[in-house]
Amino acid sequence: MSDLRLEGTSKTPSVEFTLEPMCMTISGRSIPENSIEFFQPLLDWVDSHCGVAGKSLEVNIRLEYFNTSSSKCLMDLLRRVEASAVTASVNWYYEAEDEDMLEAGEDYDAIIELPFRLVAM
Amino acid sequence: MQNEHNPLNAGKLLQFQGAIDPALVHVVLVHVERASYRKVGDRLAQKRVFRVATELLQNMLHHALPGSECAFEVIAGRGMWTFVARNPVSPAASSELRARWDELRTTPEVDLRQRERESLADEMRSEHGGGGLGLFEILRRADGGVQFECLSFDNGTAAVEFTAHILIPHE
Protein backbone atom coordinates (compact mmCIF):
# COMPACT_ATOMS: atom_id res chain seq x y z
CA MET A 1 0.00 0.00 0.00
CA SER A 2 1.10 3.56 -0.58
CA ASP A 3 -0.88 6.70 -1.23
CA LEU A 4 -4.64 6.36 -1.27
CA ARG A 5 -6.60 8.56 -3.63
CA LEU A 6 -10.34 8.31 -4.26
CA GLU A 7 -12.29 10.65 -6.46
CA GLY A 8 -15.37 12.19 -4.86
CA THR A 9 -18.88 11.32 -6.05
CA SER A 10 -22.32 12.78 -5.30
CA LYS A 11 -22.44 10.54 -2.22
CA THR A 12 -18.84 9.96 -1.20
CA PRO A 13 -15.99 12.35 -0.41
CA SER A 14 -12.73 12.69 -2.23
CA VAL A 15 -9.90 11.11 -0.30
CA GLU A 16 -6.22 11.89 -0.51
CA PHE A 17 -3.97 10.05 1.93
CA THR A 18 -0.29 10.56 1.20
CA LEU A 19 2.95 9.33 2.77
CA GLU A 20 5.24 12.23 1.76
CA PRO A 21 4.23 14.48 3.39
CA MET A 22 2.13 12.29 5.65
CA CYS A 23 -1.30 13.76 5.28
CA MET A 24 -4.92 12.57 5.23
CA THR A 25 -7.47 14.81 3.52
CA ILE A 26 -11.18 14.06 3.22
CA SER A 27 -13.33 16.59 1.42
CA GLY A 28 -16.73 17.00 -0.20
CA ARG A 29 -19.76 15.10 1.01
CA SER A 30 -20.14 11.77 2.74
CA ILE A 31 -23.72 10.49 2.56
CA PRO A 32 -23.47 6.87 1.37
CA GLU A 33 -26.21 4.48 2.51
CA ASN A 34 -23.55 2.16 3.84
CA SER A 35 -20.62 4.11 5.25
CA ILE A 36 -18.80 1.10 6.68
CA GLU A 37 -18.06 -0.20 3.21
CA PHE A 38 -16.70 3.16 2.07
CA PHE A 39 -14.56 3.84 5.14
CA GLN A 40 -12.96 0.38 5.46
CA PRO A 41 -10.07 1.08 3.01
CA LEU A 42 -9.40 4.35 4.87
CA LEU A 43 -9.15 2.49 8.18
CA ASP A 44 -6.90 -0.10 6.55
CA TRP A 45 -4.58 2.65 5.29
CA VAL A 46 -4.17 4.00 8.82
CA ASP A 47 -3.42 0.51 10.13
CA SER A 48 -0.81 -0.02 7.43
CA HIS A 49 0.98 3.32 7.57
CA CYS A 50 0.65 4.88 10.98
CA GLY A 51 2.75 2.43 12.94
CA VAL A 52 6.00 4.40 12.95
CA ALA A 53 6.52 6.46 16.10
CA GLY A 54 7.79 9.99 15.65
CA LYS A 55 6.22 10.56 12.22
CA SER A 56 3.95 13.58 11.90
CA LEU A 57 0.52 13.28 10.33
CA GLU A 58 -1.80 16.10 9.37
CA VAL A 59 -5.50 15.20 9.12
CA ASN A 60 -7.68 17.60 7.13
CA ILE A 61 -11.46 17.20 7.26
CA ARG A 62 -13.21 19.51 4.83
CA LEU A 63 -16.73 18.15 4.53
CA GLU A 64 -19.76 19.97 3.24
CA TYR A 65 -22.21 17.29 4.37
CA PHE A 66 -22.00 14.00 6.16
CA ASN A 67 -24.77 11.67 7.26
CA THR A 68 -24.97 10.18 10.74
CA SER A 69 -23.64 6.85 9.53
CA SER A 70 -20.53 8.62 8.21
CA SER A 71 -20.14 10.52 11.47
CA LYS A 72 -19.62 7.23 13.31
CA CYS A 73 -17.14 6.02 10.70
CA LEU A 74 -15.26 9.31 10.89
CA MET A 75 -15.08 8.79 14.64
CA ASP A 76 -13.61 5.31 14.04
CA LEU A 77 -11.03 6.78 11.68
CA LEU A 78 -9.94 9.50 14.11
CA ARG A 79 -9.81 6.99 16.97
CA ARG A 80 -7.62 4.73 14.84
CA VAL A 81 -5.24 7.67 14.22
CA GLU A 82 -5.34 8.60 17.91
CA ALA A 83 -4.36 5.06 18.92
CA SER A 84 -1.56 4.84 16.36
CA ALA A 85 2.13 5.64 16.85
CA VAL A 86 2.23 8.81 14.72
CA THR A 87 2.04 12.35 16.08
CA ALA A 88 -1.14 13.63 14.53
CA SER A 89 -3.12 16.84 14.47
CA VAL A 90 -6.54 17.54 12.98
CA ASN A 91 -7.73 20.54 10.98
CA TRP A 92 -11.53 20.69 10.83
CA TYR A 93 -12.68 23.08 8.11
CA TYR A 94 -16.21 24.45 8.03
CA GLU A 95 -18.09 27.13 6.13
CA ALA A 96 -18.27 30.25 8.30
CA GLU A 97 -22.10 30.30 8.09
CA ASP A 98 -22.43 26.63 8.93
CA GLU A 99 -22.83 26.45 12.70
CA ASP A 100 -23.90 22.79 12.45
CA MET A 101 -20.53 21.81 11.02
CA LEU A 102 -18.75 23.92 13.63
CA GLU A 103 -20.71 22.09 16.35
CA ALA A 104 -19.78 18.76 14.83
CA GLY A 105 -16.12 19.75 14.92
CA GLU A 106 -16.47 20.76 18.56
CA ASP A 107 -17.99 17.36 19.32
CA TYR A 108 -15.07 15.46 17.77
CA ASP A 109 -12.65 17.79 19.53
CA ALA A 110 -14.31 16.98 22.87
CA ILE A 111 -14.06 13.23 22.30
CA ILE A 112 -10.75 12.76 20.48
CA GLU A 113 -7.48 13.41 22.32
CA LEU A 114 -5.62 14.94 19.38
CA PRO A 115 -4.68 18.58 18.76
CA PHE A 116 -7.75 19.91 16.96
CA ARG A 117 -8.02 23.14 15.02
CA LEU A 118 -11.41 24.47 13.89
CA VAL A 119 -10.93 26.53 10.76
CA ALA A 120 -13.68 28.76 9.32
CA MET A 121 -13.57 29.13 5.54
CA MET B 1 -43.70 11.45 -8.34
CA GLN B 2 -45.60 14.74 -8.43
CA ASN B 3 -43.77 18.02 -8.56
CA GLU B 4 -44.06 21.75 -8.01
CA HIS B 5 -45.16 22.55 -11.59
CA ASN B 6 -48.66 21.23 -10.97
CA PRO B 7 -50.80 24.26 -9.97
CA LEU B 8 -52.92 22.02 -7.74
CA ASN B 9 -49.86 21.44 -5.55
CA ALA B 10 -48.91 24.98 -4.57
CA GLY B 11 -45.89 24.84 -2.30
CA LYS B 12 -45.60 21.10 -2.71
CA LEU B 13 -42.16 20.52 -4.15
CA LEU B 14 -42.46 16.79 -4.55
CA GLN B 15 -44.33 13.75 -3.34
CA PHE B 16 -43.82 10.06 -3.84
CA GLN B 17 -45.57 6.97 -2.65
CA GLY B 18 -44.25 3.45 -3.17
CA ALA B 19 -41.35 1.17 -2.40
CA ILE B 20 -38.10 2.94 -1.68
CA ASP B 21 -34.62 2.07 -2.93
CA PRO B 22 -31.21 3.80 -3.02
CA ALA B 23 -31.71 5.08 -6.60
CA LEU B 24 -34.96 6.78 -5.64
CA VAL B 25 -33.37 8.32 -2.55
CA HIS B 26 -30.62 9.71 -4.77
CA VAL B 27 -33.09 11.22 -7.26
CA VAL B 28 -35.13 12.84 -4.49
CA LEU B 29 -32.05 14.28 -2.79
CA VAL B 30 -30.78 15.75 -6.04
CA HIS B 31 -34.18 17.35 -6.61
CA VAL B 32 -34.38 18.70 -3.05
CA GLU B 33 -30.86 20.11 -3.19
CA ARG B 34 -31.38 21.84 -6.54
CA ALA B 35 -34.67 23.31 -5.34
CA SER B 36 -33.03 24.54 -2.13
CA TYR B 37 -30.34 26.32 -4.18
CA ARG B 38 -33.07 28.07 -6.19
CA LYS B 39 -35.45 28.90 -3.35
CA VAL B 40 -33.45 29.25 -0.14
CA GLY B 41 -31.06 32.17 0.18
CA ASP B 42 -29.72 31.45 3.66
CA ARG B 43 -26.80 29.01 3.41
CA LEU B 44 -27.32 27.36 6.80
CA ALA B 45 -31.03 26.79 6.10
CA GLN B 46 -30.14 25.42 2.67
CA LYS B 47 -27.80 22.91 4.26
CA ARG B 48 -30.29 21.97 6.96
CA VAL B 49 -32.88 21.23 4.29
CA PHE B 50 -30.47 18.78 2.69
CA ARG B 51 -29.32 17.30 6.01
CA VAL B 52 -32.83 16.60 7.29
CA ALA B 53 -33.98 15.23 3.92
CA THR B 54 -30.96 12.89 3.86
CA GLU B 55 -31.59 11.53 7.34
CA LEU B 56 -35.34 11.06 6.82
CA LEU B 57 -34.87 9.26 3.51
CA GLN B 58 -32.01 7.05 4.65
CA ASN B 59 -33.87 6.27 7.86
CA MET B 60 -36.80 5.16 5.71
CA LEU B 61 -34.53 3.15 3.46
CA HIS B 62 -32.96 1.27 6.38
CA HIS B 63 -36.04 0.74 8.54
CA ALA B 64 -39.09 0.40 6.26
CA LEU B 65 -40.42 -3.12 5.86
CA PRO B 66 -38.92 -4.55 2.64
CA GLY B 67 -40.96 -3.68 -0.45
CA SER B 68 -43.55 -1.78 1.59
CA GLU B 69 -45.28 1.38 0.48
CA CYS B 70 -43.50 4.46 1.84
CA ALA B 71 -44.48 8.10 1.37
CA PHE B 72 -42.36 11.23 1.26
CA GLU B 73 -43.47 14.79 0.72
CA VAL B 74 -41.67 18.13 0.60
CA ILE B 75 -43.53 21.40 0.99
CA ALA B 76 -41.56 24.56 0.30
CA GLY B 77 -43.57 27.20 2.11
CA ARG B 78 -42.77 30.83 2.75
CA GLY B 79 -40.42 30.95 5.72
CA MET B 80 -40.52 27.21 6.27
CA TRP B 81 -39.90 23.93 4.48
CA THR B 82 -41.75 20.85 5.69
CA PHE B 83 -40.89 17.20 5.14
CA VAL B 84 -43.33 14.37 5.79
CA ALA B 85 -41.87 10.85 5.79
CA ARG B 86 -44.01 7.78 6.43
CA ASN B 87 -43.06 4.12 6.29
CA PRO B 88 -44.41 0.79 7.50
CA VAL B 89 -42.45 -0.87 10.31
CA SER B 90 -43.01 -3.92 12.47
CA PRO B 91 -45.21 -3.27 15.52
CA ALA B 92 -42.19 -4.00 17.75
CA ALA B 93 -40.03 -1.44 15.95
CA SER B 94 -42.85 1.08 16.19
CA SER B 95 -43.06 0.66 19.98
CA GLU B 96 -39.30 0.96 20.39
CA LEU B 97 -39.20 4.13 18.31
CA ARG B 98 -42.13 5.61 20.23
CA ALA B 99 -40.38 5.04 23.55
CA ARG B 100 -37.13 6.55 22.27
CA TRP B 101 -38.95 9.49 20.74
CA ASP B 102 -40.91 10.24 23.91
CA GLU B 103 -37.67 10.30 25.85
CA LEU B 104 -35.79 12.56 23.42
CA ARG B 105 -38.52 15.07 22.63
CA THR B 106 -38.73 16.14 26.27
CA THR B 107 -34.97 16.52 26.60
CA PRO B 108 -33.74 20.16 26.68
CA GLU B 109 -31.55 21.21 23.72
CA VAL B 110 -28.38 21.49 25.78
CA ASP B 111 -28.83 17.96 27.15
CA LEU B 112 -29.80 16.70 23.72
CA ARG B 113 -26.47 17.86 22.37
CA GLN B 114 -24.65 16.12 25.20
CA ARG B 115 -26.62 12.91 24.58
CA GLU B 116 -25.81 13.11 20.87
CA ARG B 117 -22.14 13.53 21.70
CA GLU B 118 -22.27 10.47 23.97
CA SER B 119 -23.91 8.44 21.20
CA LEU B 120 -21.22 9.58 18.78
CA ALA B 121 -18.51 8.48 21.22
CA ASP B 122 -20.25 5.16 21.86
CA GLU B 123 -18.68 2.31 19.92
CA MET B 124 -22.04 0.68 19.13
CA ARG B 125 -22.74 0.41 15.40
CA SER B 126 -25.80 -0.52 13.41
CA GLU B 127 -25.66 -2.66 10.29
CA HIS B 128 -25.20 0.42 8.09
CA GLY B 129 -22.65 2.17 10.29
CA GLY B 130 -24.89 4.51 12.25
CA GLY B 131 -25.64 4.11 15.89
CA GLY B 132 -28.94 5.76 16.67
CA LEU B 133 -27.74 9.23 15.72
CA GLY B 134 -30.39 9.84 13.05
CA LEU B 135 -33.11 10.87 15.50
CA PHE B 136 -30.78 13.40 17.13
CA GLU B 137 -29.89 14.86 13.76
CA ILE B 138 -33.54 15.21 12.72
CA LEU B 139 -34.55 16.75 16.05
CA ARG B 140 -31.66 19.18 16.27
CA ARG B 141 -31.49 20.35 12.64
CA ALA B 142 -35.24 20.72 12.10
CA ASP B 143 -35.34 24.03 13.94
CA GLY B 144 -39.05 24.59 13.22
CA GLY B 145 -39.99 21.48 15.18
CA VAL B 146 -40.66 17.79 14.53
CA GLN B 147 -43.81 15.76 15.01
CA PHE B 148 -43.84 12.00 15.24
CA GLU B 149 -46.80 9.65 14.88
CA CYS B 150 -47.09 5.90 15.32
CA LEU B 151 -49.94 4.52 13.24
CA SER B 152 -51.50 1.13 14.02
CA PHE B 153 -53.79 -0.65 11.60
CA ASP B 154 -56.51 -3.27 12.14
CA ASN B 155 -54.55 -5.91 10.24
CA GLY B 156 -51.78 -5.79 12.87
CA THR B 157 -49.35 -3.70 10.82
CA ALA B 158 -47.84 -0.39 11.90
CA ALA B 159 -46.25 2.68 10.35
CA VAL B 160 -44.31 5.66 11.61
CA GLU B 161 -44.55 9.22 10.32
CA PHE B 162 -42.17 12.12 10.86
CA THR B 163 -43.09 15.70 10.02
CA ALA B 164 -40.06 17.98 10.22
CA HIS B 165 -40.01 21.75 9.72
CA ILE B 166 -36.97 23.81 8.75
CA LEU B 167 -37.15 27.56 9.28
CA ILE B 168 -36.01 29.68 6.34
CA PRO B 169 -34.86 33.11 7.55
CA HIS B 170 -35.09 36.37 5.57
CA GLU B 171 -38.26 35.42 3.67
**Mean of the per-residue pLDDT values for chain B?**
88
CA dihedral B44, B15, A29, A71 (to 10 degrees): 80
User: B3: pLDDT confidence band, cut at 50, 70 and 90?
Assistant: low
> Per-10-residue mean pLDDT for chain A, 121 residues long?
92 96 97 92 95 93 94 95 96 96 96 97 93
B129, pLDDT greater than 60: no
User: B124: pLDDT confidence band, cut at 50, 70 and 90?
Assistant: confident
A30 contacts chain B (CB < 8 A): no
Q: Is A92 exposed, middle or buried (0-12, 13-18, 19+ CB in 10 A)?
A: buried
HEC profile for B53-115? HHHHHHHHHHHCCCCCCEEEEEEEECCEEEEEEEEEECHHHHHHHHHHHHHHHCCCHHHHHHH
B155, pLDDT greater than 80: no
Supply the range of the domain harboring residue A61: 4-120
Cβ distance of A72 and B61 shorter than 8 Å: no
Residue in chain B nearest A69 by alpha carbon: B130
Chain B residues whose C-beta is within 8 A of a chain A C-beta are 22, 25-26, 29-30, 42-44, 47-48, 50-51, 54-55, 58, 61-62, 113, 116-117, 120-121, 125-126, 128-131, 133-134, 136-137, 141
Quick count: other Cβ atoms within 10 Å of Cβ B127? 9
How many angstroms separate the CA atoms of B31 and B122, rounded?
Answer: 34
Q: Is the dihedral of CA A95, A99, A103, A106 positive or negative?
A: positive
Cβ distance of A72 and B120 shorter than 8 Å: yes
B4, pLDDT greater than 70: no
Name residues whose C-beta falls within 8 Å of residue A93's C-beta, 6 or more positions apart in sequence. Answer: A60, A61, A62, A119, A121
Provide the number of structural domains found in chain A.
1
Nearest-Å Rg of the Cα atoms of chain A is 13
How many angstroms separate the CA atoms of B63 and B102, rounded?
Answer: 19
User: B130: pLDDT confidence band, cut at 50, 70 and 90?
Assistant: low
Q: What is the CATH number of the domain that holds A20?
A: 3.30.750.24
A53 contacts chain B (CB < 8 A): no
Instruction: Indicate the residue of A39, A71, A99 with minimum beta-carbon distance to B120.
Output: A71
A39 contacts in chain B (CB < 8 Å)? 129
How many angstroms separate the CA atoms of B18 and B47, rounded?
Answer: 27
> pTM of the predicted model, to two decimals?
0.90
**Among the listed residues A6, A3, A4, the one whose alpha carbon sits nearest the alpha carbon of residue A30:** A6
Cβ distance of B130 and A68 shorter than 8 Å: yes
How many angstroms separate the CA atoms of A47 and A41, rounded?
Answer: 10
Higher pLDDT, B9 or A2: A2
User: B78: pLDDT confidence band, cut at 50, 70 and 90?
Assistant: confident
Cβ distance of B136 and A68 shorter than 8 Å: yes
Distance (Å) from the alpha carbon of A34 to chain B's nearest alpha carbon:
5
**Among the listed residues A94, A92, A99, A95, the one whose alpha carbon sits nearest the alpha carbon of residue A115:** A92
Residue in chain A nearest B141 by alpha carbon: A100
Its ipTM equals 0.90
Distance (Å) from the alpha carbon of A57 to chain B's nearest alpha carbon:
22
The domains located in chain B, with CATH, are 2-167 (3.30.565.10)
